[in-house]
Structure formats: C-alpha cells, structure tokens
C-alpha cells in the first residue's frame, strides 16, 4: 500500500511533534513516523521544571502525551512502533518503506530522530545492560527499591536523575570525574543537601563485574590512579548523548561528532529535506530548543511545498 503526504516527519520527540503541529495547522497532509511511542527523550524524563507555561513541575510522560495529542488534534497522522526498512531522501519526492510493507511518499521530509544515551564502552557494560546497568531512571528506578546504587556523571541529567532515584534507592552515590558538578547550580545544591546522595569526586568507572547480575563497580581516582572495587546493586549511566544519524549518513553533511549541519531554516543541501532537534549541530539542546527547531523546519517546509504548486 502506498500513501502520499505533503510532509513526512521522522521522529516523534518535541522537535518532530512541534513541526507536526505547525505543518498540520497549515493544512499540510502530515505524517509522523516513530520507532516506539511519541515523546522522544521527554517521555523518559521523570519531571520537567523549565518548560514555559507550566508553573508546576510536569511529568515527562504527561508533557510528551500532550505534544502528541495536540499534533493529532490538528490532523497529524502518527504511525507508532514502525521501522523504516528502505528510503530515498535524495529524490524530488521522498520515499519511505515501513516494515517492508507500506510505502509513504512526500515532497518534504523533516528528520528529527534525536539522540540516544552514550555508552562508556567499558568491560562488563554490555553484559550487564538490563541486568544491573541502566541508562533511564524513569524506566528502571522502581526496580531498585531499597537498594544501594551508583550514578555515573555530573551534568544536569546525572544529577537530576540521581534526585529522582532517591525515591526508590536507599543510597545513591554519584561517581564524577571532576571535583564539582557541571549541573545547574540549583540542581547541584539540591543534590548536595539530599541525605540519600553521596558523591565520589575525581573518580571514573573502569569496569563492571558480577555473576548473573552486576555486583561490583571498579572506579579509579583520576588524581592518584588508585583503583577500588565498590559493591553495588545497580549503576545508572548519564554521560551525554549520541546523535541518531544513521538515516542521514552519506546524505547530508555531519560534523565531527556526528551531528547534522543545517542552515538557519533547518534546511540541508538536499532540496525538501530538513533536520530539527537534538540530532542537529548546535550549541544547546533543550526541549525548548528542539521545539524551536521543529517550528522553523515546519515553516520552511510550508514555503517549500507552496512554491512547488
């Protein structure tokens, strides 16, 4: 089966859904493709405190659901849990094959595939993934009720998720390579005053060990190079993100970190192909910046579609 649209948006995070809202309101036939359920990284965030319009904290799952509901209200079609098995982004009319069955086409594609958690690449990490090692506090925090766990990292995500994990864990020890957090001052202060949180400054992880599940974490003091084995019930890793640019490699320019380089209107050198959100090369990555990217991409896409007719 083949269906035709004006805009196909790949990725249902804040950037993709913001683009969908603007495109659908402009009466463009808009389709969003998502590999799971819409929301992107927002749906795995336990709470959002800095999104304008919400004076009280809002759960990430609730904000993600609201984005999707608003997009669908204006006529956006959302295909959930689909895999793109073939595609042509260079063509005048973009083509996507979904699950080796359906084909969808459109003159415009907006790629907003976001980023995924960065892995350490250490001994035992792959083995204990899902068996003591996690990259998502919202997804797995409840499994560590009353446990003693460790968090790797010291930026906003690591510190914010550590605070969230104190709802379940008995103790949370943050392992950070520097002697101060890189998180926002208010978040860092809250963590330092939380009785359940301890901090192991100037240390880095070196490996993970155990039998069937994770039992010990090896850390090294970056100043003295002394190594220790720490007993642990679980480790959460928050050390940054990796752009999900698999669809775009060889199609558009990428920077040295793998992010997509775009013009100010989110366009790429390929006519009709736009990129928005965390997958794009830029200095700051927040929900608000993703939404802004999606808005700009949709406005540029509207102009492109109108000029074709």
Please check the confidence at residue 309 and state whether its pLDDT lies above 80: no
pLDDT at 223 over 90: yes
56-77 core/surface letters (b: 16 or more CB in 10 A; e: else) = eebebbebbbebbebbbeeebb
Residue 39 or residue 203, greater confidence: 203
Query: Stretch 205-234: mean pLDDT, rounded?
Result: 97
pLDDT-based confidence at residue 149 (cuts at 50, 70, 90): very high
Per-residue confidence (pLDDT) for residue 44, from 0 to 100: 80
* CA dist., res. 115 & res. 32, Å (int): 17
The pLDDT score that the predictor gives to residue 10 is: 98
Residues in the chain: 309
**Tens of pLDDT along 237-287?**
999 889 999 999 999 999 999 999 999 999 999 999 999 999 999 988 889
pLDDT recorded at residue 262? 96
Q: Residues 91, 92, 97, CA angle at the centre, nearest 5°?
A: 50
**Average per-residue pLDDT in the chain?**
95
Mean pLDDT confidence for 119-125: 95
Give the pLDDT confidence score for residue 267 in this predicted structure. Answer: 97
State the average pLDDT over residues 51-60: 91
Tell me what the mean pLDDT of segment 178-187 comes to. Answer: 94
Segment 62-103, tens digit of pLDDT = 999 999 999 999 999 999 999 999 999 999 999 999 999 999
Q: Which two tokens stand for residue 190?
A: 């809250």
Euclidean distance between CA atoms 102 and 260, whole angstroms: 27
**pLDDT of 46 above 80:** no
Percent of the chain surpassing pLDDT 90: 87
Residue corresponding to tokens 């978040």: 187
- The pLDDT of residue 145 is 96
Statement: residue 148 has pLDDT above 80: yes
Angle at 7 (CA atoms; ends 5, 13), nearest 5 degrees: 125
In the chain, what are the helix, strand and coil shares in percent, each to the nearest 5?
25, 30, 45
């Amino acid at each position: 089966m083949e269906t035709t649209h004006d805009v196909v948006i790949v990725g249902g995070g804040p950037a993709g859904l913001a683009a969908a809202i603007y495109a659908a309101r402009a009466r463009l036939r808009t389709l969003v493709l998502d590999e799971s359920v819409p929301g992107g990284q927002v749906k795995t965030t336990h709470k959002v405190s800095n999104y304008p319009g919400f004076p009280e904290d809002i759960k990430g799952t609730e904000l993600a659901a609201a984005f999707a509901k608003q997009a669908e209200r204006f006529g956006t079609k959302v295909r959930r849990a689909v895999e793109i098995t073939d595609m042509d982004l260079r063509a005048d009319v973009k083509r996507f094959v979904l699950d080796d069955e359906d084909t969808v086409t459109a003159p415009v594609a907006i790629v907003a595939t976001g980023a995924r958690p960065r892995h350490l690449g250490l001994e035992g990490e792959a083995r204990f993934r899902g068996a003591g090692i996690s990259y998502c506090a919202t997804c797995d925090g409840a499994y560590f009720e009353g446990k003693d766990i460790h968090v790797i990292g010291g930026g906003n995500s690591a510190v914010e998720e550590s605070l969230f994990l104190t709802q379940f864990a008995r103790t949370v020890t943050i392992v950070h390579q520097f002697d101060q957090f890189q998180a926002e001052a208010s978040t860092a202060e809250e963590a330092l005053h939380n009785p359940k949180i301890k901090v192991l400054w100037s240390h880095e992880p070196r490996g993970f060990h155990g039998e069937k599940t994770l039992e010990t974490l090896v850390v090294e003091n970056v100043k003295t190079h002394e190594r220790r084995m720490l007993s642990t019930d679980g480790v959460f890793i928050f050390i940054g993100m990796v752009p999900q640019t698999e669809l775009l490699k060889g199609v558009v320019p990428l920077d040295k970190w793998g992010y997509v380089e775009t013009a100010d209107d989110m366009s790429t050198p390929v006519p009709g192909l736009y990129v928005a959100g965390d997958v794009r090369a830029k200095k700051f990555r927040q929900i608000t910046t993703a939404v802004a990217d999606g808005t700009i991409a949709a406005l540029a896409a509207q102009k492109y579609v109108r000029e074709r007719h």
